[in-house]
Amino acid sequence: MCIELFSLRDKVALVTGAGKGLGKSMALALSESGAHVAVASRTQSDIEATAQEILENGVKSIPIAADVTRQEDVDKMVEKVLTELNTIDILVNNVGTFLGGPFLEFSLEDWRKMLEINLTSTYLCSKVVGRHMVERQQGKIINVSSVLGMFGATNSAAYCASKGGVIQLTRALSIEWAKYHITVNAIAPYTMETEMTKTMLQDEKLKNIIVSRIPLKRIGKPADLSGPVVFLASKASDYITGQVLCVDGGFSVH
């Protein structure tokens, strides 16, 4: 049956930044499709709450407190998943944040922070988990970029550069690891309702401008990523690699 292609029964996923927002929503979606899901973020209470909700779907879940910009934390995180859940079939590199401002006033410290959180985290997790996937000659990596990884935006140079980097890392790795049957794809959302965009969306005028640019005429919700992440994590997407799936209400079509 075609629907079986989307099943993640007995698969093991690791989702970074799963304490809230898009990461939490994607972790829950993967568990609803049958995957055991390890969830990581820096705030213990958040990931414990996510893991608790995942357990209610009748699968295993482990919360791991980790800062995925740190090699040591990433090593320990991956070791814990392999010890407790035996393997990692699916890696969702979701961690990311936004720091903006006029380029001439944007400090080197903030520039480095954006690259560390948005790009280096993806490098580190892909490398450590990828080693295991290469050994097993299988795996699915899903990187969360942004439509701002493809388009420019004012006061967003570091974010655009870091998310563009995520897209190019996705494409390069998809080629390098195709021979191991590892697929590497990216999801590129536009504005979604999460804590990251909360302050911005409280500005009604700005919110209306954003909505006016979206053909489907609404801001995205974390649940809008459920179908796309399950698709890219499942057998249904086995012949798709190196691609960027825009989940943006049609914004990028303009």
Ligand X SMILES: NC(=O)c1ccc[n+]([C@@H]2O[C@H](COP(=O)([O-])OP(=O)(O)OC[C@H]3O[C@@H](n4cnc5c(N)ncnc54)[C@H](OP(=O)(O)O)[C@@H]3O)[C@@H](O)[C@H]2O)c1
96 vs 165 by CB, closer to ligand X: 96
CB-based contact 109:160 (threshold 8 Å): no
Find the binder of ligand X among 11, 27, 38, 46 (CB under 6 A): 46
Site membership for ligand X, residue 97 (CB under 6 A): yes
Shortest distance (Å) from residue 8 CB to ligand X:
21
68 vs 244 by CB, closer to ligand X: 68
Binding mask 102-141 for ligand X (x = CB under 6 A): ---------------x---x--------------------
Site membership for ligand X, residue 144 (CB under 6 A): yes
Find the binder of ligand X among 32, 48, 67, 110 (CB under 6 A): 67
Site membership for ligand X, residue 225 (CB under 6 A): no
190 annotated active-site? no
Tell me the sheet residues that pair with 40: 16, 64
182 closest CA partner among 190, 170, 195, 167: 170
| Stretch touching ligand X by CB under 6 A, among 126-134, 171-179, 187-195, 208-216 | 187-195
**Cβ neighbours around 152 below 10 Å, total:** 9
| Stretch touching ligand X by CB under 6 A, among 36-44, 52-60, 125-133, 208-216 | 36-44
For residue 178, give the DSSP letter: G
Site membership for ligand X, residue 27 (CB under 6 A): no
Record the tokens describing residue 107, joined without a space.
């400090």
| Stretch touching ligand X by CB under 6 A, among 21-29, 150-158, 171-179, 203-211 | 21-29
The residue whose Cβ lies closest to ligand X is: 96
Shortest distance (Å) from residue 26 CB to ligand X:
9
Shortest distance (Å) from residue 171 CB to ligand X:
17
Phi and psi for 3 in degrees, rounded to 5? Answer: -60, -30
Q: Identify the residue whose tokens are 């809230």.
A: 20
| Stretch touching ligand X by CB under 6 A, among 124-132, 167-175, 194-202, 231-239 | 194-202
- Which residues are tagged catalytic? 159
Residues that bind ligand X (CB under 6 A): 16-17, 19-23, 40-43, 46, 66-69, 94-97, 117, 121, 144, 146, 189, 191-192, 194-197
